Amino acid sequence: MKKLLICLFIISSLTSNAQNADSAWIRDHYQKKEVYITMRDGVKLFTSVYMPKDTTTKHPVLISRTPYSCQPYGEDKWTPYWETYLKEYFKEGYIMVTQDVRGRWMSEGEFKDVRPFNANKKGKEIDEASDSYDAIDWLVKNIPGNNGNVGVFGISYPGFYTNMAAASNHPALKAASPQAPVTNWFIGDDFHHNGVFFQLDAVDFYSALGFAFGVPHPKPVAVPAESKGYAVHDNYKFFLETGTLKNLTKYMGDSIAFWKDLMAHPNYDAWWKARDARLATQHLQPAMLWVGGLFDAEDCWGAWNAYKAAEQNNPGKAFNKIVEGPWYHGQWANNDGTHHGNIQFGSNTSDYYQQHFEIPFFNYFLKGKGDISKIAEANIYISGANEWRSFSQWPPAEKKDETLYLQANGKLSAAKPLAENSFSAYTSDPAKPVPYEEHVHFNRTRKYMTNDQRFAARRPDVLVFQTDTLSKDITLAGNVIANIITSISTTDADFVVKIIDVFPDYLGYNNVNIYAETDPVDPYPMGGYQMLVRAEIFRGRYRKSYENPSAFTPGKIEEVKFELPSIAHRFGKGHRIMVQVQSSWFPLADRNPQQFIDIYHCNEKDFIKSDIKIYHDNKNASVIILPVLNE
């Protein structure tokens, strides 16, 4: 133990010394300037600029537009870039710019969540694309020593603003990298998945109980809104006892505009469609590098689908590429990409991304430096295999869709069922919803995307189907299709489908001797681990249309078919493929009252049990369609 502590102290000291050296270098070679940039309608946006002191050469500009603040404010107060890989851009001589978007923090104007893109702006009409254009135009004309080449990047909400900036097509904007970009908040990102409301994130993000993002401020502010905190530090208990979305609205108060919008637009109407960021992927002139995380709990859907839209909307575009790694939300920008929860990768995947994809991308297009020939069309990390793969398209041309049939007795195989009138059944009880995580916790975890699912497999309201032990490796690369044939005893229900990698019972890649005196941790038992590889939820009322939901007829057999976000995972020889099916995922997703009523305004008495049957016979066969990579 003493040797371990000494090693940790040495590592910590070396890291601290390196950061101090980088901090001193950046301060010695840069100056900070804060400016207001006037938009075409007269609104002024606060902008923080870090400029090289070197005047012997011209420098590219790299911008991030954010609703999360340019802080620290003050030209004598510096963002600690030296603690992250972003210090590499300083060493390369970039002019680094951060801007508070309209209506946020120190910027003027009215903030609107996911402000719709307006492709036909006239006069002084604005959107986020026009604000980006005006900011870029001012910077290249007024910041001394710039080389006229601009790049934009950002993660999550700043990824949305990066998409909008790319749509501005300012002639100086040469490269853009939207990373885990907010793309569609009804279909797959953050606050809805297939019409199911993700209450845990929405309440925590917008309310004063949590992050307080939605708390309005009529004038520019330099300090965040105060978070009041939750009275109950067990989110399953809090949301279950709160009961309904109507009751959650009482916690939100009257001032949070977007919460009201969420409650007022339960279906995929024109209001939601206008806020689909894929509308801003037409005629893109900058080089595009889309980035996402395979295990991103917030915006797993956005990067895949915005990239796909950009491909379709820009045929023949020279550089429109994607990188997907084994990451939680934003992990690619962190220093440690060696693992996700209990799943180890054997190398620092974040550092690999930074050095092989992002930095070379911007250096090439903004500085004319280096080589991008090794950045493929699709650069995908295959979890399970723990390796990067390059593909000429996504999904890969080498993949073939293969069907696995749900079977009686919990079997999963390629053989079509022969039995007649065969089904598995469970009762979905809103009073005892299936948790999305095993442990009691307060904040939504990011590890749930790969966590052990044995806790769920043991519940009577979760169906489990699994293959025999695999005799060879099977790699999945592309979208999984769930085609569930079901009947329910009520008029609505949700369906959660999970794709799970079942490890061998005696696997021990991170098992160590838990009795050793030098072991500082209690390792998780990986033998028999049920790794969540991909899961998705679907609200049954949208099985025919997101725009026009329809009730189930109790007892009538119907199809519920939906797509899960792309998957890139190898199920190793000796493992099993498992599928779990359930009807709640709580409190991550809101509870369905299991009646065809207005969920956003219903009462506690409206929540009823539903008897769910999942069919697997020769006439009504529930299937999972897997994108198997031919290797």
Q: Of 575, 344, 341, whose CA–CA distance to 437 is shortest?
A: 341
Are both 482 and 337 inside the same structural domain?
no
Q: Of 421, 410, 418, whose CA–CA distance to 580 is shortest?
A: 410
Q: What is the pLDDT of residues 145-161, one digit of tens each?
A: 999 999 999 999 999 99
Domain count of the fold of the chain: 3
Q: Where is pLDDT greater, at 519 or 472?
A: 472
Residue 203 is part of a domain; what is its CATH number?
Answer: 1.10.3020.10
**What's 355's DSSP letter?**
I
Domain containing 430 equals 399-629
Are both 252 and 382 inside the same structural domain?
no
Residue 334 is part of a domain; what is its CATH number?
Answer: 3.40.50.1820
Cα 538 from Cα 326, distance rounded (Å):
24
Are both 599 and 534 inside the same structural domain?
yes
The pair of structure tokens assigned to 31 is 């100056």
- Please give the pLDDT value at position 296: 98
Q: What is the pLDDT of residues 493-533, one digit of tens each?
A: 999 999 999 999 986 655 444 444 444 455 788 999 999 99
Query: How many C-beta atoms surround the C-beta of residue 550 within 10 A?
Result: 15
What length does the chain have? Answer: 631
Contacts 24+ apart (CB under 8 A), 424-427: 424/463, 424/613, 424/614, 424/616, 425/611, 425/612, 425/613, 425/614, 426/460, 426/461, 426/462, 426/463, 426/582, 426/583, 426/611, 426/612, 427/460, 427/461, 427/609, 427/610, 427/611, 427/612
Are both 574 and 514 inside the same structural domain?
yes
Residue 334, Cβ density class (10 Å: 0-12 exposed, 13-18 middle, ≥19 buried):
middle
Are both 307 and 262 inside the same structural domain?
no
- Please give the pLDDT value at position 523: 78
Are both 35 and 160 inside the same structural domain?
yes
Cα 230 from Cα 225, distance rounded (Å):
15
The predicted model gives 169-176 an average pLDDT of 98
The predicted model gives 47-70 an average pLDDT of 97
Are both 499 and 454 inside the same structural domain?
yes
Cα 623 from Cα 620, distance rounded (Å):
10
Residue 343 lies in a domain: yes
Residue carrying structure tokens 């293969």: 402
Residue carrying structure tokens 């930095």: 359
Q: Give 6's pLDDT tier (boundaries 50, 70, 90).
A: very low
- Please give the pLDDT value at position 8: 37
Q: What is the pLDDT of residues 407-450, one digit of tens each?
A: 999 999 999 999 999 999 999 999 999 999 999 998 899 999 99
Q: Provide the β-strand partners of residue 152.
A: 63, 176
- Residue 101 reports pLDDT greater than 50: yes
- Please give the pLDDT value at position 218: 83
Residue 18 lies in a domain: no
pTM: 0.95
Cα 362 from Cα 579, distance rounded (Å):
41
DSSP 165-206: HHHH--TTEEEEEEES----TTTTSTTEETTEE-HHHHHHHH
Q: Are 220 and 264 in contact (CB under 8 A)?
A: no
